[in-house]
């Protein structure tokens, strides 16, 4: 169960500046998880969640590490507009892939080429999937936006339905770093120390891969 960084986050983005301009109104609008969060002002979320082919650069690392082929079956939890899966299908045409998202706006705005593979569903509600059904389950920047109980249920289900998995979680070591993360994040809810996350992994028997996002890695 190693920590694995695919290089998604870029420190050169001035997140400190963005943090200083945000207030409780911005968090309120973000939690609507609609146009305000995805395609509204930057203070309310992404400031325009658009396709930028980022995953075309990052996915080869995952493909190589998890030995994915056109015959593989992949699930993404927290797929948003489906950009990761769109690029995955370009790199591995014919791969069996699908995504789930727990709010509807990004699914309605998804690219037509991938839209049919995306479903509206709670992250922890994976009972319709069989044990070890997927060669890889990816949950990137999504499951820690739930409360602790739902986050634990989601990780438990990921363990059950996957042969291999890769999840990212919010973490901290010092209180000042936790405060920085909380000042920046709009939706981050379950933010724990690395040792606490590992204790949860041990408790539920999760042995997949993970990445801990924190204030330092975000350049806060």
Q: Which residue has the tokens 């992949």?
A: 74
Mean pLDDT rounded to a whole number for the chain: 93
Q: Which residues have C-beta within 8 Å of that of residue 153, sequence separation ≥ 6?
A: 124
Tell whether the model's pLDDT for residue 205 goes beyond 80.
yes
pLDDT band at 12 (very low <50, low <70, confident <90, very high): low
Q: Tell me what pLDDT residue 1 has.
A: 62
Task: Convert the pLDDT of each residue in 157-192 to its tens digit.
Answer: 999 999 999 999 999 999 999 999 999 999 999 999
Answer yes or no: is 149 within a domain. Answer: yes
Q: 180: how many CB neighbours lie within 10 A of its CB? A: 20
Which domain covers residue 128, as residue numbers? Answer: 15-213
Q: Tell me what pLDDT residue 8 has.
A: 76
Q: Tell me what pLDDT residue 206 has.
A: 97
Q: Tell me what pLDDT residue 134 has.
A: 98
Answer yes or no: is 127 within a domain. Answer: yes
Tell whether the model's pLDDT for residue 48 goes beyond 80.
yes
Mean pLDDT of the 28-44 span: 95
Answer yes or no: is 10 within a domain. Answer: no
Tell whether the model's pLDDT for residue 7 goes beyond 80.
no
Answer yes or no: is 218 within a domain. Answer: no
Task: Convert the pLDDT of each residue in 51-98 to its tens digit.
Answer: 999 899 999 999 999 999 999 999 999 999 999 999 999 999 999 999
Question: If 0-12 CB within 10 Å is exposed, 13-18 middle and 19+ buried, where does residue 77 land?
Answer: buried
DSSP state of 45: S
Q: Tell me what pLDDT residue 93 has.
A: 96
Q: Tell me what pLDDT residue 157 has.
A: 98
Mean pLDDT of the 91-110 span: 97
As a residue count, the chain comes to 220
Mean pLDDT of the 36-48 span: 94
Query: Domain of 68: which CATH number?
Result: 3.40.50.150
Contact present, 137 and 180 (Cβ < 8 Å): no
Answer yes or no: is 126 within a domain. Answer: yes
Q: Tell me what pLDDT residue 98 has.
A: 98
Answer yes or no: is 3 within a domain. Answer: no
Q: Tell me what pLDDT residue 6 has.
A: 81
Tell whether the model's pLDDT for residue 155 goes beyond 80.
yes
Mean pLDDT of the 109-131 span: 96
Strand segments, DSSP code E, in 43-128 are: 73-77, 96-101, 118-120
Question: If 0-12 CB within 10 Å is exposed, 13-18 middle and 19+ buried, where does residue 206 land?
Answer: buried
Answer yes or no: is 117 within a domain. Answer: yes
Least confident of 6-20, 35-49, 96-110, 161-175: 6-20
Count of domains forming the chain: 1
Answer yes or no: is 40 within a domain. Answer: yes
Least confident of 14-28, 114-128, 134-148, 168-182: 14-28
The DSSP line for 152-199 is HHHHHHHHHHBSSEEEEEEEESSHHHHHHHHHH-SS---EEEHHHHHH
Q: Would you give the end-to-end CA distance of the chain in angstroms?
A: 27
128 SS3 class: coil
């Amino acid at each position: 169960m190693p920590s694995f960084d695919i290089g998604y986050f870029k420190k050169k983005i001035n997140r400190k500046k963005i943090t200083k301009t945000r207030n409780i109104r911005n968090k309120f609008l973000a939690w609507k998880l609609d146009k305000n969060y995805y395609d509204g002002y930057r203070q309310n979320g992404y400031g325009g969640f658009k396709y930028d082919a980022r995953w075309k650069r990052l996915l080869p690392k995952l493909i190589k590490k998890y030995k994915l082929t056109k015959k593989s079956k992949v699930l993404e939890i927290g797929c948003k507009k489906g950009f990761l899966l769109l690029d995955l299908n370009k790199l591995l045409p014919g791969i069996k892939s699908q995504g789930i998202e727990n709010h509807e706006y990004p699914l309605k705005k998804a690219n037509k080429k991938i839209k049919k593979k995306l479903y509206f569903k709670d992250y922890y509600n994976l009972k319709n999937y069989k044990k070890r059904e997927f060669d890889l389950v990816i949950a990137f920047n999504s499951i820690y936006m739930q409360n602790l109980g739902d986050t634990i249920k989601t990780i438990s289900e990921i363990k059950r339905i996957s042969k291999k998995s890769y999840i990212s979680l919010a973490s901290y070591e010092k209180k000042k770093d936790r405060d920085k993360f909380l000042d920046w994040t709009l939706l981050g809810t379950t933010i724990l120390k690395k040792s606490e996350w590992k204790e949860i992994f041990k408790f539920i028997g999760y042995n997949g891969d993970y990445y801990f996002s924190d204030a330092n890695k975000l350049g806060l």
